[in-house]
Chain A
Amino acid sequence: MQDQLDYLAKRASAGKLSRRDFMGKASALGVSAAAASTMFATAAKAASHKKGGDLKIGSTGGESTNSLDPATYASQVPYHNGRQFGDTLVEVSATGDIEGRLATSVESTPDAKTWMFKLRQGVEFHNGKTMTGEDVMKTMERHSNEDSKSGALGVMKNIESMKVEGDTFSVTLKNANADLPYLMADYHLIIQPNGGMDNPAEGVGTGPYKMEVDEPGVRHMYSKFANYWGDDGHFDSVEILAINDATARTAALQSGQVHLINRLEPKIAGLLSRAPGVSVQSTPGRGHYVFIMHTNTAPFDSKELRLALKYAINREEMVEKILRGYGSVGNDMPINAAYPLFDSSIPQRMYDVDKAKEHYAKSGHDGSPIILRTADGAFPGAVEAAQLFQQSAQAAGIPLEIKREPNDGYWSEVWNKQPFCASYWGGRPVQDQMYSTAYLSSADWNDTKFNNPEFDAKLLAAKAELDLTKRKALYSEMGNIVRDEGGLICPMFNDFIDGVSDKLVGWETDPNGELMNGQVTRKLSFA
């Protein structure tokens, strides 16, 4: 039935089927009138998109060292490359729901341990082959086997076994996980022919655009793939230019050399929004800037000292001065309202000199300067943020000493090694993944060395809990534990700030990632 509906929707979007005919035929297939109406509206919207044109994107995070192999993606240009030529099984929608892409539906057994993905049929790779269950299986194997160096290895570890039966791909987990579909939406998990076992960097996938030119660190060019399975992707060609310099990127947008840019600096975003011909799109996301303390290292092993520092930071001032208002205050936990099942009743921690003094006195710290390491590369404005922190802490009588580290080598030598430093997190689609990645005591990236058995137990319980009310309660308790006990000082959540030419239409707010979660080339079109 799904296939027939897809066919109808396609005909409607091509303008070959009137609304009346569409509704009649859809209801004959057993679809309710309301659902059919929505489907027609979606299809008609696709029809209203003007086809054609050459889209150019100026993106930061492109290096000559980049590869098209999805397992290696770690910066923005490779991420956007994957979005052009590839598809994942499922995608997280702007509203936080799971949307089918190469899988049309997802189901699980009641214990959330086995998950079944029904695969879309008749999908063609850019090399002419038809996608099979075997391709899906091999892809997942390549990202999870012993030799894997995939960026998605962490999310794949929990898989016990996988199998393909007919058009269903099923995954059995070691421990139950109610959020598995969100993990499978990871941007690394692009389905490749034979899983990319033969040539992972060839850039062949099932996406709307076919790779034409691959010059790492310079440009990547794609043309519309004629046999693409979906009805999105309205441009004739897409070109991604690696423009790492923020000023050059802004100038390229203003002079019309590119239509879209990412990572606008907050200090120029306000100015650019007044310029003609372009608009600034600010999207509240899940990424946050942090100061992290190792809870197992003196003096940060004292809960009182951690609390003293948490009360000694002025979050509003940071949002105003570092983010220029393009963001929101944090609450010393890695979760905000952009996550599903967020408990908004947890009280906001404020800058409080008296409480900071009180906790500092209780901690019995000897008054020697506390060393805070930072670098420009830790997050944009990290050095200035550390200075603001130093001043607000000074007011509470807590001496902070800023040690500025070189950008080069910061992630290998300082982060996760030194006991107190500035850092950032990009956020994850769901709370479970964020907590499992960085706060579970056994997590590889537990960068606060947080070890709380009660927290771990609640996290495992929440994974298997399919009742949303109970899960929300568990997440709320976990948030409180991290907020009060943890080594995380989270002053702010940063917005994604993108620059968009007025020639483009169709922008939607999508909290999952920059440039509409990388969907700009699929969902936008020229006016």
Chain B
Amino acid sequence: MHPILKLVSQRLALGLLLLLAASALIFVGTQILPGDVAQSILGQSATPEALANLRKDLGLNEPALSRYFSWLGGAIQGDLGTALTNGQDIATSMGKRLGNTLFLAFWAAVVSVPLAIFLGLVAVRYKDRWPDKMISAVTLTSISIPEFLIGYVLMYFVGVKLGWAPSVAMINDSMSLGQKLHAIALPVTVLTLVVLAHMMRMTRAAILNVMQSAYIETAELKGLSSFQVISRHAFPNAIAPIVNVVMLNLAYLVVGVVVVEVVFVYPGMGQYLVDHVAKRDVPVVQACGLVFAAVYILLNMVADIVSILANPRLRHPK
């Protein structure tokens, strides 16, 4: 078997085991939380009778272990079940939210990844001169400010005062792509500012590291321009750590944007998950957890494989 194929299949199997462990952890977590779904649905207006009726209807009187295994049995067959709180099909309603989250993450990545790498290259080219210092200062400042604050500031100046982009980033099926992009302009900006510094600094550090190698000196001596040296010789050798940090940030764009979603009222997965955790709607929390865990595991796997492919020594092990 080709070593790469072998590696991928090993990683996939490990990923599945991790998913199983994650689902068990999430289930235990939701059981430890105080109150149950019946109590949360009825809230302050819960009477003991209504509670008992609801618990019976939702099957909460079954022991926890058998509830977990009946959920697991369904999930393995691709049936995520229905939400306890409003009876909607989880796969359908979550699919829509996941689509929205991926849409936002995709456009944020389209803007931020090339921008970060480009800025990283520029910073290396003008190392320790004013462009390098300015890029570092601006991106480090933007990563240090909490994202909700950047969100509110943009909302006030760009959304309310200038009126360039809507302050509420609600998208729905009846909108055209252009309208959708206009609607998500502000959250994409915020996300870009948040992830930019990490990727930019990593690009800069990785390339600077490579720049000290002997073959770079050779390239310089044979008369290549400094940008050519960086993009042709330094960048390909620095790709592994850069891909790693890019993947981590992509994972953040998918699973870590709850705050940005709440601030801009964006109908994504984050808000969907928080609502259901608050209501102790275990099947939905499980499903969301699985999706998030899968995204994380998958992106990390991609990062590993790319760094192996990018390195001839790892590609042809002796």
Contacts and interface: CB of A to CB of B under 8 A. Distances in A.
Genuine A/B complex: yes
B86 interface: yes
A462 to B, nearest CB: 23
Interface stretch (B72-80, B239-247, B265-273): B265-273
Contact of A74 (B42, B86, B267): B42
A243 interface: yes
Given A63-B279, A65-B85, A216-B86, A255 B50 contact: no
Nearest to A75: B43
B275 A217 contact: yes
Interface string B159-202: 11001001110101000000000000000000000000000000
A413 interface: yes
Interface in A143-171: 146-151, 153-154
A244 interface: yes
B275 A64 contact: yes
A254 interface: yes
A150 B46 CA distance: 9
A252 interface: yes
Residue of B44, B53, B170 with highest tally of chain A CB at under 10 A: B44
A245 B35 contact: no
B193 to A, nearest CB: 18
Interface string B275-290: 1101101000000000
Interface in A126-185: 146-151, 153-154
B83 A243 contact: no
Interface in A435-454: 444-445
Contact of A248 (B83, B87, B264): B264
B263 A245 contact: yes
Nearest to A423: B44
Contacts of B163: 255
A408 interface: yes
Interface string B245-273: 00000000000000000111101000110
B262 to A, nearest CB: 6
B170 A65 contact: no
A255 B83 contact: no
A252 to B, nearest CB: 5
B276 A65 contact: yes
Nearest to A443: B47
Interface of A: 58, 63-67, 69, 72, 74-75, 146-151, 153-154, 201, 213, 215-219, 241-245, 247-248, 251-252, 254-255, 257-258, 408-409, 411-413, 415, 444-445
Interface of B: 33-35, 39-45, 47-51, 53-54, 57, 83, 85-88, 93, 96-97, 152, 155-156, 159-160, 163, 166-168, 170, 172, 262-265, 267, 271-272, 275-276, 278-279, 281
Given A64-B272, A251-B167, 5 more contacts: A63-B279, A72-B86, A74-B43, A154-B47, A255-B160
